[in-house]
Amino acid sequence: MHKTQRLDPGNAGVRRVRVKIKMALSLFFLTILGCKKSIPPEKSLVVYTHSSFLASYGPGVEIAEKFKKETGIDVQMIDAGDSGLILQRLRLEESTRVDVIVGIDQLSMVDAEKDIEWKKLNMPTLEKHPNFPEGNWGPFIPYDWAPLTFVYKDDRLAGIDSWNDLLEDKWEKKLAIHDPRLSTPGLQLLFAIHEINKKETLAYLKKFKKSVYRVAPSWSSGYSLFQKGKASGVFSYLTSPVYHKINEDNDRYHSVVFEEGHPVQVELVGVPERCVNCEGAKKFAAFLLSAESQKALMLKNIMLPVRAGVVDGTEFAKLPKVKTLPMSSALRFAHDKKSKVGIWLESIKED
């Protein structure tokens, strides 16, 4: 998420400044922690995550406070960027303490396993959400998930039922999407198009190009174009309309339901082999699956819980039931995503 920021897509410049300030303060206090050694390693954790997880509106602070209350372990969260940047920092900052990684997804999991050693995490015993997409998560644990689709307001994309409907002339320059080289949702869109079209992916992308208003560098910038009315629809999460309903009491946002199926993002937590408080890190990973953490993730990360029953009686229970594309196909795509991005680059060349 990616991971990109999903909430309040306006004021991107202000957010970037705030994130930089938070990162600087986080690193400052981490340095102080290391120098004073006021908290012993077994009573502290260093967590690398993304900005939307630890922002004031995100679930990170609430989860960290509850975890400390239950275990006595202090959690220091560092904004390390999206999943790609998190992995890059892990590779480059070999001597930096990191106990937990929160926020990689299944498409970046392949790279994570290739270059970094991880502790094996065991999935806590729990009843899962009935639609949660099962997969092979390697040494990681999934903590939330959501299908992706095109989101629109009122009836501006009404009538789209198939991925082929996106190619119709009436949608010319109507859609905001994201660069798959920079954005997790952008890569998920490319996966969906490839999975549905197979060998005809390039032909589909060349036709789809005329429907695209803008290829944005991130989810937040693309969603901002949509919010400003520049695009009639934006590729986003099936859960995005719920944000507007529960935070704005606005029910004008809707999600396209594709008959062929939807890509789905699964977010994962991992513990690198170089962890300092490894037992505390494993406890924190498991804590993300507790009922209280799952509720916080659902309401503040605007994603679906892995745990069953958490959505009951909420707006999330009213989301349309959608078919999801096979997780096994997503993982195969992840192994060969470089060549698939090459197909995308070929498709956007000027004729």
Domain identity same for 240 and 341: yes
Domain identity same for 110 and 123: yes
- In this structure, how many other beta carbons lie within 10 angstroms of the beta carbon of residue 155? 10
Q: Can you tell me the distance from the alpha carbon of 334 to that of 151, in angstroms, rounded to the nearest whole number?
A: 25
What pLDDT score was predicted for residue 298?
Answer: 98
Q: Is residue 5 part of a domain?
A: no
Q: Is residue 258 part of a domain?
A: yes
Q: Is residue 3 part of a domain?
A: no
Is residue 232 within 8 A of residue 21, CB to CB? The reply is no
Domain identity same for 50 and 135: yes
Is residue 230 within 8 A of residue 9, CB to CB? The reply is no
CATH of the domain at 230: 3.40.190.10
Q: Is residue 6 part of a domain?
A: no
- Residue 126 burial class via C-beta count within 10 angstroms: exposed 0-12, middle 13-18, buried 19 and up: middle
Domain count, the chain: 2
- Rounded-to-10 torsion of CA 223, 209, 346, 255: 40
Q: Is residue 101 part of a domain?
A: yes
What pLDDT score was predicted for residue 8?
Answer: 43
Q: Can you tell me the distance from the alpha carbon of 94 to that of 290, in angstroms, rounded to the nearest whole number?
A: 31
Enter the tokens of residue 236: 């986003």
Domain identity same for 115 and 26: yes
What pTM, to 2 d.p., does this model score? 0.87
Domain identity same for 334 and 214: yes
Beta bridge partners of 33: none
Q: Is residue 71 part of a domain?
A: yes
Q: Can you tell me the distance from the alpha carbon of 142 to that of 267, in angstroms, rounded to the nearest whole number?
A: 6
Domain identity same for 101 and 157: no
Is residue 84 within 8 A of residue 91, CB to CB? The reply is no
> How long a stretch of residues is the chain?
351
Q: What is the pLDDT along the chain (351 residues), one digit of tens a residue?
A: 434 344 443 444 444 445 444 555 555 444 444 444 567 888 999 999 988 898 888 999 999 999 999 999 999 999 987 777 888 888 888 889 999 999 999 999 999 998 899 999 999 999 999 999 989 999 999 999 999 999 999 999 999 999 999 999 999 999 999 999 989 999 999 999 999 999 999 999 999 999 999 999 989 899 999 999 999 999 999 999 999 999 999 999 999 999 999 999 999 999 999 999 999 999 999 999 999 999 999 999 999 999 999 999 999 999 999 999 999 999 999 999 999 999 999 998 875
Domain identity same for 170 and 232: yes
Which residues does 106 contact at the CB level (< 8 Å), separation at least 6? 135, 137, 265, 266, 268, 327, 330, 331, 334
What pLDDT score was predicted for residue 19?
Answer: 44
- Residue 273: give the domain boundaries: 12-144+266-318
Domain identity same for 340 and 215: yes
Domain identity same for 244 and 327: yes
Q: Is residue 112 part of a domain?
A: yes
Enter the tokens of residue 269: 């937590």
* Helices (H), ranges, 236-336: 240-248, 278-287, 291-301, 327-335
Estimate to the nearest angstrom the gap between the alpha carbon of 210 and the chain centroid. Answer: 27
Is residue 287 within 8 A of residue 70, CB to CB? The reply is yes
What pLDDT score was predicted for residue 10?
Answer: 41
Q: Can you tell me the distance from the alpha carbon of 284 to that of 269, in angstroms, rounded to the nearest whole number?
A: 9
Domain identity same for 136 and 270: yes
Q: Is residue 7 part of a domain?
A: no
Domain identity same for 177 and 259: yes
Domain identity same for 20 and 136: yes
